[in-house]
């Protein structure tokens, strides 16, 4: 991954020395994190390994600058360099995704989604209300009109995918602000196929009449037809908001094209930068020109000062994603996920929807008599890092769950291909078969404790080490 690894090694080693002199425990944690990431099979579908240029860009004095506002229109003096950073990042994002407008300030995916929601409220509810009342801003409203407007915001309806069908918390879940801010109605998946049922979605949308239709997911292992989503939104007068946090890399890498590319169909698209897109931790929003002015109000509506050092790293990551090699990477992510899914299926593992056509695979581990929590822990003991996840209508709820979600973006960045992912499937199946739940005091199978047959975890870690050593992370980087 690094051409000039020895120079970068020196830079990092010296940097860690500087940190060590102030707080050795933090330098130690940074070193240990590299050791841990190098020594385990990272299969968390939402994680990746950012490049050294991306990581290095974040460690700069751009971090010290306040720059609330927008490019060329800041509430602080001396923002000329941040203006450059934000313009370059925004230009790359527009070009990469073919979007009319890109807003790169959100600090994370959740922030990006909040910016998206509020921009839609501003465009659809606030602006027409102000116009009707002959007011320029909310400051011009009477107390009575302002109260009425605030009440109207809360009565709006949002329709997103339910958490256990694979949606994200921010798509209207009751314990998230999106579920409290809006009246919400979730759509699920067809119980037989596990797939989105667009006809049912349309029927539900006709009845519920959402202001915002949310498409996108965290744990749905299939592609979405965004043309169909837009038709549904248009039919019920909703704004189509797509959260592409998980699959932005597959859009950028031109694996999702035509009706599977959300950008031409959505009014507003939000995303993270750190998952399949392989950038720094952060978020961004794309919008049509119609929605752009309200998206631009993200700061101060939802956000404080932008993280200029992270915006700079986003620019570097977008520039990387515009290079030819990124398309091969993104294609490999999807191809490898297929191999992983087929490898698991042929070894008898049950998969939600029976496979994948994106970057993630959702295992239903209940056929092994395990909860997701037990499977996740047993895999971790064996050097395989995953996360437990609900399956549709999960009887074990969101804490213990019945599923484990895995994905290919990180190990594909490390160079894993089909042969390696087939071996990963073998290792995962071996651990699941060798794991049993421990019974509770009442004699029933417990949901958290488990035991792994002797030697399996050690043998799995040893086999994982061989794969990892053959595909080193940040080769040549010695700390």
Q: DSSP 3-state assignment of 314?
A: helix
Q: Do you find a cis peptide bond into 189, omega within 30 degrees of 0?
A: no
Q: Which stretch binds ligand PLP (CB under 6 A): 59-67, 108-116, 428-436, 443-451?
A: 108-116
Q: How far is the CB of 45 from ligand PLP (least distance, A)?
A: 9
What is the spatial distance between Cα 435 and Cα 183, in angstroms, rounded to a whole number?
Answer: 42
Strands 239-243 and 268-272 turn out to be parallel
**In what helix (H) or strand (E) does residue 385 lie, and over which residues does it extend?**
strand 384-385
Residue 276 or 377 with smaller CB distance to ligand PLP: 276
Residue owning tokens 């070009």: 95
Residue nearest to ligand PLP (CB): 109
- How many residues bind ligand PLP (CB under 6 A)? The answer is 14
Q: How far apart are CA 239 and CA 78, in angstroms?
A: 38
Residue 91 · residue 265 · CB < 8 Å: no
* Of 43, 211, 245, 269, the one binding ligand PLP by CB under 6 A: 245
Q: Segment contacting ligand PLP (CB under 6 A): 105-113, 123-131, 202-210, 406-414?
A: 105-113
User: How many secondary structure helices (H) and strands (E) does the chain include?
Assistant: 20, 17
User: In the complex, what is the shortest distance from the CB of residue 44 to ligand PLP, in angstroms, rounded to a whole number?
Assistant: 10
Annotated active-site residue in 86, 126, 164, 243: 243
Q: Closer to ligand PLP at the Cβ: 283 or 343?
A: 283
**Residue at token pair 């971790």:** 380
Structural tokens at position 286 = 């794309």
d(CA 476, CA 472): 9
CB of 57 to ligand PLP, least distance (A): 18
How far is it, in rounded angstroms, from Cα 106 to Cα 133? 32
Give me the 271-300 binding string for ligand PLP, x by CB under 6 A, dash otherwise: -x----------x-----------------
Q: Does 387 bind ligand PLP (CB under 6 A)?
A: no
Choice between 170 and 184, CB closer to ligand PLP: 170
The CB-of-189 to ligand PLP minimum distance in angstroms stands at: 16
What region, left, alpha or beta, does residue 384 occupy, with left being phi > 0 and alpha being psi -120 to 50 degrees?
Answer: beta
Verify binding: residue 170, ligand PLP, rule CB under 6 A.
yes
The single residue of 222, 275, 297, 373 carrying the catalytic annotation is: 275
Supply the minimum distance, in Å, between the C-beta of residue 65 and ligand PLP.
22
Is 68 designated active site?
Answer: yes
| Beta carbon of residue 46, minimum distance to ligand PLP (angstroms, whole number) | 5
Helix, strand, coil % (nearest 5) of the chain?
50, 15, 35
Looking at the Cβ atoms of 218 and 460, the one nearer to ligand PLP is 218
Closest contact distance (angstroms) between CB of 271 and ligand PLP is 8
Exactly one of 68, 100, 145, 422 is catalytic; name it: 68
> How far apart, in whole angstroms, are the C-alpha atoms of residue 344 and residue 362?
11
Is 275 in the active site?
A: yes
Judged by CB under 6 A, which stretch of 68-76, 109-117, 254-262, 385-393 contacts ligand PLP? 109-117
d(CA 453, CA 165): 32
From the CB of 273, what's the least distance to ligand PLP, in Å?
A: 9
Residue among 157, 168, 222, 278 that touches ligand PLP (CB under 6 A): 168
Q: Which residue has the tokens 């107390």?
A: 143
216 binds ligand PLP (CB under 6 A): yes
Please identify which residue in 40, 46, 48, 396 interacts with ligand PLP, judged by CB under 6 A: 46
Helices (H), 23-72: 24-38, 52-58
Based on the residue annotation, tell me whether 281 is a catalytic residue of this protein: yes
Do residues 450 and 370 make contact, with C-beta atoms less than 8 angstroms apart? yes
Contact status: 109 vs ligand PLP (CB under 6 A): yes
Q: Is 390 in the site for ligand PLP (CB under 6 A)?
A: no
CB count within 10 Å of CB 3 equals 8
Residue 383 Ramachandran class (φ > 0 left, ψ -120 to 50 alpha, else beta): left
Active site annotation includes 444: no
Nearer Cβ to ligand PLP (213/427): 213
HSE, side-chain direction, 13 A CA sphere, residue 219 = 29
Question: Which active-site residues does the annotation give?
Answer: 66, 68, 243, 272, 275, 281
Q: Interface residues with ligand PLP (CB under 6 A)? A: 46, 108-110, 113, 168, 170, 216, 218, 243, 245-246, 272, 283
């Amino acid at each position: 991954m690094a051409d000039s690894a020895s120079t970068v090694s020196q830079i990092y080693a010296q940097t860690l020395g500087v940190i060590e002199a102030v707080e050795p425990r933090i330098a130690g944690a940074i070193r240990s994190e590299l050791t841990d990431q190098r020594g385990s099979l990272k299969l968390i579908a939402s994680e990746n390994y950012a490049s050294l240029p991306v990581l290095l860009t974040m460690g700069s004095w751009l971090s010290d600058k306040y720059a609330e506002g927008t490019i060329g229109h800041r509430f602080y003096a001396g923002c000329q360099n941040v203006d450059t950073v934000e313009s370059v990042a925004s230009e790359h994002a527009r070009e990469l995704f073919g979007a009319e407008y890109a807003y790169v300030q959100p600090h994370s995916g959740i922030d990006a989604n909040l910016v998206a929601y509020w921009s839609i409220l501003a465009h659809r509810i606030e602006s027409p209300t102000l116009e009707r009342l002959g007011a320029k801003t909310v400051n011009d409203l009477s107390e009575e009109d302002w109260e009425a407007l605030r009440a109207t915001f809360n009565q709006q309806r949002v329709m997103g995918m339910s958490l256990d069908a694979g949606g994200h918390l921010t798509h209207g879940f009751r314990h998230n602000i999106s579920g409290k801010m809006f009246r919400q109605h979730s759509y699920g998946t067809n119980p037989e196929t596990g797939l989105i049922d667009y006809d049912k979605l349309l029927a539900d949308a006709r009845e519920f009449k959402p202001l915002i239709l949310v498409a996108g997911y965290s744990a749905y292992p299939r592609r979405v037809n965004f043309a169909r989503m837009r038709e549904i939104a248009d039919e019920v007068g909703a704004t189509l908001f797509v959260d592409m946090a998980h699959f932005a890399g597959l859009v950028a890498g031109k694996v999702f094209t035509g009706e599977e590319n959300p950008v031409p169909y959505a009014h507003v698209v939000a995303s993270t930068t750190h998952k399949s897109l392989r950038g720094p931790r952060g978020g961004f929003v794309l919008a049509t020109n119609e929605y752009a002015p309200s998206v631009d109000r993200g700061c101060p509506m939802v956000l404080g000062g932008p993280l200029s050092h992270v915006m700079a790293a986003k620019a570097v990551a977008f520039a990387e994603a515009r290079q030819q090699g990124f398309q091969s990477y993104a294609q490999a992510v999807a191809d490898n996920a297929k191999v992983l899914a087929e490898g698991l299926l042929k070894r008898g593992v049950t998969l939600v929807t029976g496979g994948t056509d994106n970057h993630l695979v959702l295992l239903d581990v209940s056929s092994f008599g395990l909860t997701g929590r037990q499977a996740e822990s047993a895999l971790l003991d064996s050097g395989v890092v995953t996360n437990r996840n609900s399956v549709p209508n999960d009887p074990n709820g969101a804490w213990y769950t019945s599923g484990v979600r895995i994905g290919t973006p990180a190990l594909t960045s490390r160079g894993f291909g089909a042969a390696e992912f087939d071996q990963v499937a073998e290792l995962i199946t071996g651990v699941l078969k060798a794991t049993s739940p421990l019974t509770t005091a009442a004699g029933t199978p417990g949901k958290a404790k488990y035991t792994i047959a002797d030697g399996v975890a050690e043998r799995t870690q040893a086999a994982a080490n061989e794969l990892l050593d053959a595909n080193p992370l940040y080769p040549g980087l010695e700390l």
